[in-house]
A and B are shown apart, each in its own frame.
Chain A
Amino acid sequence: MIDLEAVRRVYPDGFVALHDLTLRIAAGTTLALVGPSGCGKTTTLKLINRLLTPSSGRVLIEGHDAAAQDPIALRRRMGWVVQEAGLFPHLTAQANVEIVPTLLGWDAARRARRAAELLELVGLDPRQHAGRYPAQLSGGQRQRVGLARALAVDPPILLMDEPFGALDPLTRRRLQEEFRALQARLAKTVVLVTHDVGEACYLADRIAVLDAGRLVQIGTPEQLRAAPASDFVAAFLHRQPGAT
């Protein structure tokens, strides 16, 4: 469970990236953060894993203030998936997946077992793909490796920043379907940043619409469709017809 309590983020130049955001993500559910570019989606995500620090307000992870915890240990309990996967180009697919287990000091055999298991979970054949470098993988394959890497030590929380943004429509669709099936089995607490309302409606239990650093509306996809809180929300939903 993740709680944001009046979280504000102000840049040194005085620009307010986030205005007193309060929201709760219940354990095992998926929240999508949507909104136009620069609305504060990614900022929110980075405040949760402490890549950024709130100027005021609190972030609670399972009821404990994130600011009071060791940021490195905190991040290892949260999977982190970014656009275009962000794989390390000098490491093989397997080594990329094994990063956090390596940091935690797992032995090689255990790491290799886990990597193979995860590559299979995300739909890759370990015998074929484990030894490949990112440059030798397709965009979709890289994104799958990125997801496997985030799941490596089975973290309860998954933070995803435009995870399927750079893929072609067909591959994106397949990965979305597979992720939905996966999430049904794994029941992680997921925060998904996307600018694609269709993706948000398809994958998320609830959607938070942000505009210029403010939370405009939060609710299930159905609630948002039925009763958009403002013209902005209605327009935003309308402009990008849902995928479902």
Chain B
Amino acid sequence: MTGRLLCAALLAGVTAAVAVAADPASSTPPRVVVGAKKFTESAVLAELMAQVLEAHTDARIERVVNLAGTRVCFDALRSGGLDLYAEYTGTGLRDILDETRDVGGAAAVYALVSETFRSRFDLVWLAPFGFDNTYVLMMRPARAAELSIQQLSDLAAHPLRYGMSHEFNERPDGMPGLRRAYALDEVSTVGMEHDLAYQALAEGAIDVSDGYSTDAKIVAFNLQVLHDDKHFFPPYEAAPLARADLFSRVPGSEAALRLLAGRIDAATMRRLNFAVESERRTPADVAATLLRELGLAQREIAAAPTATGFWSLLWQRRWETLRLTGQHLVLTGVAVLAAVLVGVPLGIAASRRPRLSTLALSAAGIAQTIPSIALLAFMLPWFGIGVRPAIAALFLYGLLPILRNTVAGLRGVDAQLLEVGRGLGMAPRDLLWRVELPLAAPVLLAGVRTAAVISVGTATLAAFIGAGGLGDPIVTGLSTTNTDLVLSGALPAAALAMLVDAALYGVERAATPRGLKLPS
């Protein structure tokens, strides 16, 4: 009985929180949502698709970038939260379809995924962009020339130092398979962080390392890519992956997207990634430049003046930061308010019934132990991507401190005072409002403060599921190794957490009855 009550209360809270944050109804021009995973290439491809659609259809395009990964994008696409994003055929094959067999070359993989996605998910793979972002092995050109190494089968003849990323060392389609395919059994490898491997390679500390074929760092460090002459690595061709209903809903959208087919080769993609990561240009600007070069769209995107140094970047982004701060406050504000509206009444009920109290506290405790990213991911099947799942997850996080402190605050009220109140003729309601809640207020509000500060911190992760907020520049900055950009989100977020903490401390002090602050 109490269990069902608890579930109902929780559900009511989540639903209420989500209803408040519901999107405005879509208007006449069809709305298309383009998604991107949290790395540069995905964001650039999303911009290319978005701008091509803007130039050739009347659709209103929304971008949801920095999504946590394949699962989030794919689920959002199926549930309608996204209309399209750029995916890799190899990922579709291995990660989504769980197909481990060797299917064949690029054309065979593309044919298989496009047929299976169509029939199983009603999703469409359009023609690939024209590059394959698969694993590659790289060397310094000078070193390769010295040993006259051009392709992977040349490696076995030389004793070389291999520094490989940890993941590549472990994956069956990484180093273990490579050893068999190219007779590299004798080779010993050192596992290292991907970013450090580039550095080590450039400095000559190692001779060979692994990377992705379109990594901007291949350009940045001027490295030579070795030809996979035995076609060991599976193809990872990038292509637009879209909901089938997009093309009927937005006339001309399919034709528009097809304009990109085969137009971007690996060198071009590498150049675009380099422009974002090393030249600090925005994906929108980089995409617009390419579309002009290709004659596919004429739009000018004001190139963001390259900020010299952290402070000018901060100043340059001030309005954007303000907007993101607003989003951040809405996310946390709605979630904490909902948690108060559910947590306090639930706490009051729980403080009177020990069994309900145990149940409610352990349920809220379990929600608390789920890692933030996982909790956000759990919300996706119910709420899609965007603001709603973020609010639902933040609501669940806020519930425990509020619930626990409400119960603790009420239990801490002197039992003799309660008896005196009853003896004076106070009804239970009078007792609650005039005695229990005022006396429990400091502890209760400390719980709200904890919930709010946790919420402000956790909300930075909401960027991974497309909810925006100050996490956006953090995630973008992390994926492009732009520390200044990370800080432009992290510092305001930290400041916000401190401000919220201080403001709620003020509320807590103000709400503490004066009679309780006096030394007795």
Contact = CB atoms under 8 A, between A and B. Distances in A.
Contact of B438 (A80, A82, A90, A133): A90
Contacts of B518: 133, 135-136
Interface in A56-107: 72-76, 80, 82, 86, 88-92, 99-100, 103
B516 A49 contact: no
A72 B514 contact: no
B258 to A, nearest CB: 72
A103 B430 contact: yes
A49 B426 CA distance: 12
A24 to B, nearest CB: 22
B435 A88 contact: yes
Contact of A90 (B416, B420, B425, B439): B439
B423 A89 contact: no
B515 A72 contact: no
Contact of A135 (B421, B439, B515): B515
Given A88-B417, A90-B439, A135-B515, A82 B423 contact: yes
A149 B516 contact: no
A103 B426 contact: yes
Give the residue among A88, A133, A134, A149 with the most B Cβ atoms within 10 A. Answer: A88
Contacts of A73: 425
Interface string B397-426: 000000000000000000011011111111
A187 interface: no
Contacts of B421: 88
A82 B418 CA distance: 12
B182 to A, nearest CB: 79
A184 interface: no
A204 B71 CA distance: 82
27 contacts: A46-B423, A72-B425, A72-B427, A74-B425, A75-B423, A75-B425, A80-B420, A80-B423, A80-B424, A82-B416, A86-B417, A88-B435, A89-B513, A89-B515, A90-B438, A90-B439, A90-B516, A91-B515, A99-B424, A103-B424, A133-B514, A133-B515, A133-B518, A134-B520, A135-B515, A135-B519, A136-B518
A51 interface: yes
B424 A75 contact: yes
Closest 6 CB pairs of A and B: A90-B513, A133-B515, A76-B425, A75-B425, A135-B520, A86-B420
Contacts of B426: 72, 99, 103
A88 to B, nearest CB: 6
Contacts of A159: 423
Interface string A113-154: 000000000000000000001111000000000000100000
A199 to B, nearest CB: 21
B515 A134 contact: yes
A46 B425 CA distance: 13
Contacts of A86: 416-417, 419-420
B420 A82 contact: yes
Contact of B424 (A92, A134, A135, A149): A149
A91 B514 CA distance: 8
A152 B515 CA distance: 21
A205 to B, nearest CB: 24
Contacts of A90: 438-439, 513-516
Interface in A139-188: 149, 159
Interface residues of A, number: 25
A11 to B, nearest CB: 17
Interface in B77-103: none
Given A133-B515, A135-B518, A135-B519, A89 B424 contact: no
A14 to B, nearest CB: 23
Nearest to B515: A133
A134 B439 CA distance: 14
A185 to B, nearest CB: 23
Contacts of B425: 72-76, 100, 103
A192 B419 CA distance: 18
Contact of A89 (B427, B430, B434, B439): B439
A189 B421 CA distance: 21
B224 to A, nearest CB: 76
Most buried by A among B416, B420, B425, B513: B425
B514 to A, nearest CB: 7
Nearest to A152: B424
A243 to B, nearest CB: 28
Interface string B500-519: 00000000000001111011
A33 to B, nearest CB: 16
B419 A51 contact: yes
Given A89-B439, A89-B520, A100-B424, 17 more contacts: A49-B423, A51-B419, A73-B425, A80-B420, A86-B420, A88-B417, A89-B417, A89-B516, A90-B438, A90-B516, A91-B515, A92-B515, A99-B426, A100-B425, A103-B424, A103-B426, A159-B423
Nearest to B426: A103
A159 B420 CA distance: 12
Contacts of B514: 90, 133
A86 B416 CA distance: 7
Nearest to B422: A51
Nearest to A136: B518
A159 B424 CA distance: 10
A27 B370 CA distance: 66
